[in-house]
A and B are shown apart, each in its own frame.
Chain A
Amino acid sequence: MYEIIGIMIAGGIIGYIFKSKVKFIRLSEKIYSFVLFILLFSLGLSVGKNDTVMNNVSSLGLLSLAIAVAAVAGSVFCAWIVYRIFFKKIKTDK
């Protein structure tokens, strides 16, 4: 998977060099969102062939929801503490 991160960094350099080519950057953004949906479609293809996933759809869904709730609860709890200690007293207006 580290090769992929390497490719991303290579893309970053290309993007930095050609940042003034507005059309090219807009096109890249469009390709990016389109390919994202192709990837999710292809993820669906592999999932459809995977019987373990297909036979446990409802329990996986419930588990996923529980994970999301735990992640959000942890984040909100920490944010509450950090906000009270560090953010409340500072004014963020520029």
Chain B
Amino acid sequence: MKNSIIAIIFFAAGIACSKLQLVPQTVSGGDLTLYVLCFQMLFVGICMGAELNKSIMLIKSLNAIILLAPLTTIVGTLLGMVLFSIFINGMPLSDLLATGSGFGYYSLSSIYITEIRGETLGTIALLANIAREVIALLFTPLFAKHFGKLAPIAAAGATSMDTCLPIITSAVGRDYAVISVFSGVVLTILVPFMVTFILTIM
């Protein structure tokens, strides 16, 4: 929650600086974002690579059924997007599927989507994925009570490994913590692949 507030503040500060022309025109070019993104991805990779052994051990210690957790989230999210596309006009299904494929990982998904499709969809992706995280945080106890122990993990998407983990474990029990972390890790890794794939193929 704290991080999503900081994220919004930085995003809003960017808009304000652009509107008040506090930053030279050359700095606000999209190229800068791309270079910084490349730099960023190097460090994302380093952090994941360092955790690789731990991740493999985690997977080995678990029953294959755990794969159903991230799969459920993916299928459910895409299903939600397909149904939503029936009710909304003027937004291509691929844009909705890409936005949904952020799975709450708002920072990375919105930047990827901005690079591929532009600022409008990028902003939607940022807001929609922050909203997903907030909804998951607020409604986890409700989801757990009425829809079973897997529901809060699916609702949280990629955030089930960090931001939402404490509330999820307190709602469904510590024995589901491993499933929650596993599901979040898988979805976090999949976000850049799925977003790029959906927007370039469809």
Contacts and interface: CB of A to CB of B under 8 A. Distances in A.
A91 B2 CA distance: 34
Contacts of A93: 175
Contacts of A32: 40, 43-44, 47
Interface residues of A, number: 72
A74 B83 contact: yes
B169 interface: no
Interface range, B side = 35 or more
A48 B15 contact: yes
B150 A4 contact: no
Contacts of B127: 60-61, 64-65
A60 B53 contact: no
Interface in A1-33: 1-5, 7-19, 25, 28-29, 31-32
Interface in B155-202: 155, 157, 175-176, 178-179, 192-193, 196, 200
A73 B16 CA distance: 34
A64 to B, nearest CB: 3
B12 to A, nearest CB: 6
B155 to A, nearest CB: 5
A37 B42 CA distance: 16
A90 B65 contact: yes
Contact of B100 (A7, A14, A49, A67): A67
A7 B42 contact: yes
A46 B83 contact: no
B80 A70 contact: yes
B135 A46 contact: no
B28 A11 contact: no
B138 to A, nearest CB: 11
Given A79-B73, A79-B153, A19 B124 contact: no
A62 B73 CA distance: 23
